[in-house]
Each structure stands twice: as structure tokens, then as C-alpha cells.
Amino acid sequence: MFDQPYKFGSPLSKELGKDFHIYTEKYKFRAENIVYYILAERYSKDIFIIKFYPSRLEGCKEKRYSVLINTGHAERILATCLDLAKNIYLKVPSASFGFIGAPTYLTEKDYINTKRFRVYSKIAIDKFGPSTFKHYSDPHQSSYLLVNSKIENQREFLENAKSIFSDIYPVLEFN
């Protein structure tokens, strides 16, 4: 399962960030007849946030991560995101990864234990071993963090990560 990713090439673009957001790389892949974009956002402390959406939702920022397309290709699409994370980890061995499971458009009203969070969390547990990453999740915020096991001060790192997540997702409250 999750072992047949779609092919993606070199980044289409690399947009510089500000403050603790260092840059965003944008990749493109095709799932049958639908084009998708994957964003790899790099933040301070080598935290990477991987996001994806169908290209047709490029201009719809408020729902690009929330709409379900229902094409039957979710497994391969998620495998593609995992493949990108693996490539990043090979290039940046100090990398940690995080995600927020966005609420499903029109059916979920808030970020509490969303469908995406539940699915992505299971994948994270299955695909990222505890010897490589420490797993931290907050179902109330539908947030998940895979902290590189090489990081000595996990508590301090978590506090920095919360600050980053709070900046990216101001609607959420990270305590």
C-alpha cells in the first residue's frame, strides 16, 4: 500500500518566504487526467510542511486543501507526497515534517479530528518509524508533527514548531 507514487520532476518554482518561512518549492504531477501541485514549505529548524491540491483549485485558496475530488486515486496521490518527503529527508537528514488535516469542504465545520487528519495520521504511523521520527499529534487541532529523532531537545523543538504552526494557521490555537 502507498508504494506506487506518481512521478514528479524538479520543482516548478521556488518562492522565498519571510520570517521563519525559508522557502516553498512547488512540484507538479499528473494523476490520470488531473494535474496536482505539491508544495514543500521549509521553515526554520528544518521543519517541512507538505501540502497538495488539484491545479484547478489554484485560485481558490479558501478551499484548495478541503475539496474532495473522489477520483479513486487518493492512495497514489498520498504515496506521491510520501515520496517527496522521503526525497527531502535524503537531502536534509535533519528534516522534520508536519501537517494539518484540513476540514472537508461543506461537511466539516472545524479542525477537530478531521477526516484528513485521521487518514494522514494512520499513514504517518505506518510509514514513519519511531526510530527515525518521534510522533506528536493534536486531534483537537488536526495537527501532526514528525520530529526527527536526532533532535536532542524535543521539548524546545515542539515549542518552536507550535509557534510556526500558529503563524501558518492563525485560526488554530496551539497551547
Which domain covers residue 97, as residue numbers?
13-168
| 132 occurs within a structural domain | yes
Please tell me the distance from the alpha carbon of residue 68 to that of residue 159, in angstroms, as a whole number: 32
**So what's the pLDDT on residue 49?**
94
Nearest to 32 by CA among 58, 3, 60, 4: 4
**So what's the pLDDT on residue 17?**
83
Residues of the chain with pLDDT under 50: none
Please tell me the distance from the alpha carbon of residue 113 to that of residue 69, in angstroms, as a whole number: 20
**So what's the pLDDT on residue 173?**
66
| 52 occurs within a structural domain | yes
C-alpha cell at position 40: 514543500
Q: How far is CA 30 from CA 34, 36, 55, in A?
A: 6, 6, 10
| 8 occurs within a structural domain | no
Note whether 5 and 83 are within 8 A (CB).
yes
Structural domain count, the chain: 1
Q: What is the pLDDT of residues 29-56, one digit of tens each?
A: 999 899 999 999 999 999 999 999 999 9
| 173 occurs within a structural domain | no
DSSP letters spanning the chain: ----PPP--S-SEEEE--TTEEEEEEEEEEETTEEEEEEEEEEGGGEEEEEEEEGGGTT-TTTTTT-----S-HHHHHHHHHHHHHHHHHH-TT-EEEEE-PPPTTT--SSTT-HHHHHHHHHHHHHS-TTTEEEEEETTTTEEEEEETT-S-HHHHHHHHHHHHHHH-TTS---
| 175 occurs within a structural domain | no
| 3 occurs within a structural domain | no
| 57 occurs within a structural domain | yes
| 116 occurs within a structural domain | yes
**So what's the pLDDT on residue 172?**
64
